[in-house]
């Protein structure tokens, strides 16, 4: 069992610095202690999760926030790769994207995304959505690492 | 010699024998000729001259009919004669006339020439079996058919182009709104963060400017949402037969809050017909019209909307009349353009309502126009052509 006070480690896969900043600010107010790690592309996200190359001494991740619109390897491919990987598939992946496209939503769930969230445009709404995500994923649910 | 040839035809009408003289045959709208199997013309009616494109049909006698047509057609006519001799039927044939000023299409029917007892006649020198050829000039019909086919092809091509450009347009709108949303969220989010976290560092002027920035973002958000709505609405119609009264009721339900706040009255002039439409899209249209009628009410006059439908020569004309401020005639065309607004910011909206209505109605093959509802107000006139087949008609 991990220390109750140990922060929940979140990997944010997002290439837009502006969006990173908004997510970071929203999570800063979180009630549950958390640690946000940011990577800007899909391939690096996989290296981080697998602790390869420059991330060989990286830490275990509890929750992934995944944007779909990423350079080179897009979010759908990253998601598929995570869920294909025996050692990664237990890690919850929340798709956090601007897209409300039905194909994106269905595709993400078909690829075993744990949740699909469309980012609201207004910050107040965005903040509210992250508050609720945090309330559920950081507070309500039991994450794999807590029982592993 | 100008006197008619002593040829006649006897028909049996209810047991009475009637003789059709050469004059009757001459006046027939088709060219007729009796030829030997090898093609020599023995007799022809006068109408043949026009069909063949010569001055006098009698000059044909002694000539070979098949010399007047192309090689392929001649071969086919000869084959038909051979088939008749063998006891088979000859098909209806279309040939190309080579003689005369311009090429014409002729339809030819061939049959074996028989004597009154039903035995094939043998004429000429040396005597041969004979065939009767009946020729009809079908050039006008063929030209019309060709033009129709041409027009059809053009229409299909234009339809394909239209579908392609529609598809591209809707893709463009989806991509544009999605890709516009991302930077907008970053701008709006950070201005809001500035307001929330650093408000005390700004003076009044700075706060006013932040307010403008946030208002701009909110407006941009609405425009993007509406653009997306516009591109999606009516893109694919699911036509069904519905009672217009039901659609009106649904649309009223959708603007219930507005009606409640304004005390608007909505009156339906009975009866409303059944129409073949996309229910969702038409509901949206009527809800937009109701909402406009209420938003653009005259001050101190509670809004009243009257809906009626009348049959016009090609379908149903649906009128939605209000007692609002009306739209001056010079602005009526502009009112239907996307994001066109005829009023200041004091009335909320991006200017998508009527543009969306027009798109939906035009996708139904109809038209939408504005008229004055005397003494004051607007009448929106929607002409919905009858769309066939209706689901009810298909049922036995």
Give per-residue pLDDT as tens, A77-136: 999 999 999 999 999 999 999 888 888 999 999 999 999 999 887 778 888 898 888 888
As a whole number of angstroms, the distance between CA B8 and CA B129 comes to 20
**A-chain residues within 8 Å CB-CB of B173?**
none
B56-60, B79-83, B136-140, B386-390: least confident range? B386-390
Q: Tell me how many residue pairs between chain A and chain B have CB atoms under 8 A apart.
A: 54
pLDDT at B347: 65
- Residue A16: which of B182, B218, B224 has the nearest Cβ? B182
Q: How far is B285 from chain A (nearest CA, A)?
A: 24
pLDDT digits (tens, 9 = 90+) for B320-332: 999 988 888 888 8
Q: What is the model's pTM?
A: 0.56
Does the beta-carbon distance from B189 to A119 stay under 8 Å?
A: no
Cα-based angle A129, A130, A136 (whole degrees, multiple of 5) = 95
The answer to whether B24 contacts chain A (CB < 8 Å) is no
Other Cβ atoms less than 10 A from the Cβ of A44: the count is 20
Tokens of A91: 């890690």
Comparing A111-120, B32-41, B95-104, B287-296, which segment has the lowest mean pLDDT?
A: B95-104
Question: pLDDT tens across B287-313, in order?
Answer: 999 998 998 888 888 899 999 999 888
Which residues in chain A touch residue B236, judged by CB atoms under 8 angstroms apart?
Answer: none
User: Nearest-CA distance from B162 to chain A in Å?
Assistant: 24
pLDDT of residue B100: 61
Cβ distance B185 to A119 less than 8 Å, yes or no, reads yes
What is residue B104's predicted lDDT score, i.e. its pLDDT? 83
Residue A70 confidence (pLDDT) above 80:
yes
Record: contact B182-A122, CB cut-off 8 A: no
At B99 the pLDDT is 63
- Average pLDDT of chain B? 84
- pLDDT tens figures, B225-252: 888 888 877 777 888 899 999 999 999 9
Whether B221 and A98 have beta carbons less than 8 Å apart is answered as no
Asked if the C-beta of B193 comes within 8 angstroms of chain A's C-beta atoms, the answer is yes
Q: Which residues of A touch B (CB under 8 A)?
A: 16, 18-19, 21-22, 25, 69, 98-99, 101, 119-124, 126
Does B217 touch chain A if contact means CB atoms closer than 8 Å?
Answer: yes
pLDDT of residue A75: 93
Chain A residue with Cα closest to B191:
A123
C-alpha to C-alpha distances, A117 to A7, A21, B65, B72, B293, nearest whole angstrom? 23, 18, 83, 73, 37
Partner residue facing B181 (CB), from A18, A25, A98: A98
**Strand residue runs (E) in chain B:** 8-13, 16-21, 31-36, 41-44, 93-97, 104-112, 122-123, 128-137, 239-243, 265-268, 274-278, 304-312, 315-322, 367-372, 378-385
Is the ipTM value over 0.85, yes or no?
no
Could you tell me the two tokens for B140?
């006008």
Band (B98; pLDDT cuts 50, 70, 90): low
Of the partner residues B174, B188, B190, the one whose CB lies closest to the CB of residue A121? B188
Mark yes or no for CB contact B188/A122 under 8 Å: yes
Q: How far apart are CA B306 and CA B39, in angstroms?
A: 78
> Are B190 and A123 in contact (CB < 8 Å)?
yes
- ∠ at Cα A86 (A85, A91), nearest 5°? 80
The answer to whether the Cβ–Cβ distance between A16 and B186 falls below 8 Å is: yes
Measure in Å the smallest separation between the Cα of A127 and chain B Cα atoms. Answer: 9
For residue B179, give the chain A residue with the closest CA. Answer: A98
Residues of chain A neighbouring B218 (CB-CB closer than 8 A): 122
Q: Is the pLDDT of residue A37 over 90?
A: yes
Beta carbons of B178 and A22 less than 8 Å apart:
no
Radius of gyration of chain A (CA): 14
Inter-chain residue contact B221 with A25, CB threshold 8 Å: no
Structure tokens belonging to residue B325: 């401020």
Average pLDDT over residues B8-28: 78
| Per-residue pLDDT, B395 | 37
Rounded distance between C-alpha atoms, residue B366 and residue B6, angstroms: 64
Dihedral sign of CA atoms B179, B183, B186, B191 in order: negative
pLDDT score at B203: 94
Judged by CB atoms closer than 8 Å, whether chains meet at A19 and B218 is answered as no
- Which residues does chain A have within 8 Å of residue B184's beta carbon, measured at their own beta carbons? 121
Q: Which two tokens stand for residue B207?
A: 């706060």
User: Phi/psi at A88 (nearest 5 deg)?
Assistant: -110, -20
């Amino acid at each position: 069992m991990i220390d109750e006070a140990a922060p929940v480690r979140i990997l944010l896969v997002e290439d837009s610095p502006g969006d990173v900043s908004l997510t970071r600010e929203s999570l800063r107010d979180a009630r549950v202690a958390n640690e946000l790690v940011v990577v800007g592309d899909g391939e690096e996200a996989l290296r981080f999760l697998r602790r390869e190359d420059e991330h060989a001494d990286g830490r275990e991740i509890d929750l992934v926030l995944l944007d779909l619109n990423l350079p080179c390897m897009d979010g759908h491919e990253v998601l598929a790769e995570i869920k294909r990987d025996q050692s990664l598939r237990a890690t919850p992946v929340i798709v956090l994207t601007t897209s409300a496209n039905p194909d994106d939503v269905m595709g993400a769930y078909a690829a075993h995304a744990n949740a699909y969230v469309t980012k609201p445009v207004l910050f107040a709404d965005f903040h509210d959505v992250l508050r609720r995500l945090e309330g559920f994923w950081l507070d309500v649910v039991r994450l794999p690492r807590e029982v592993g | 010699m100008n006197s008619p040839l002593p040829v006649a035809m006897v028909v049996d009408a209810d047991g009475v024998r009637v003789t059709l003289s050469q004059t009757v045959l001459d006046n027939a709208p088709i060219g007729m000729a009796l030829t030997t199997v090898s093609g020599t013309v023995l007799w022809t009616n006068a109408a043949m001259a026009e069909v063949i494109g010569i001055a006098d049909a009698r000059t044909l006698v002694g000539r070979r009919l098949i010399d007047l047509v192309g090689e392929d057609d001649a071969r086919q006519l000869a084959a038909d004669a051979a088939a008749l001799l063998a006891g088979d039927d000859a098909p209806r044939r279309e040939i190309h006339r080579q003689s005369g000023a311009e090429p014409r299409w002729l339809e030819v029917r061939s049959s074996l020439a028989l004597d009154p007892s039903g035995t094939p006649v043998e004429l000429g020198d040396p005597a041969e079996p004979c065939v009767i050829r009946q020729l009809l000039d079908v050039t006008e019909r063929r030209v019309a058919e060709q033009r129709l086919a041409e027009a059809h092809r053009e229409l299909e091509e234009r339809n394909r182009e239209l579908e392609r450009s529609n598809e591209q347009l809707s893709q463009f709108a989806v991509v544009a709104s999605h890709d516009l949303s991302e930077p907008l969220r970053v701008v709006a989010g950070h201005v809001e963060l500035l307001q929330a976290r650093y408000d005390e560092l700004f003076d009044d002027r700075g706060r006013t400017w932040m307010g403008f920035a946030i208002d701009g973002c909110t407006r941009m958000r609405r425009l993007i949402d509406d653009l997306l709505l516009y591109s999606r609405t009516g893109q694919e119609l699911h036509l069904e037969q519905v009672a217009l009264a039901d659609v009106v009721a649904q649309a009223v339900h959708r603007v219930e809050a507005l009606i409640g706040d304004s005390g608007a009255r909505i009156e339906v002039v009975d009866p409303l017909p059944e129409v073949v439409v996309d229910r969702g899209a038409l509901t949206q249209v009527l809800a937009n019209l109701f909402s406009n009628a209420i938003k653009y009410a005259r001050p101190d006059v509670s809004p009243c909307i009257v809906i009626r439908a009348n049959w016009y020569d090609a379908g149903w004309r649906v009128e939605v009349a209000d007692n609002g401020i009306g739209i001056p005639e010079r602005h009526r065309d502009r009112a239907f353009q996307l994001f066109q607004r005829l009023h200041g910011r004091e009335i909320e909206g991006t200017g998508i309502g009527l543009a969306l209505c027009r798109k939906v109605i035009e996708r139904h093959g109809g038209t939408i126009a504005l008229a004055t509802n005397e003494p004051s107000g607007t009448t929106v006139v929607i002409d919905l052509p009858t769309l066939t087949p209706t689901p009810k008609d298909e049922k036995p």
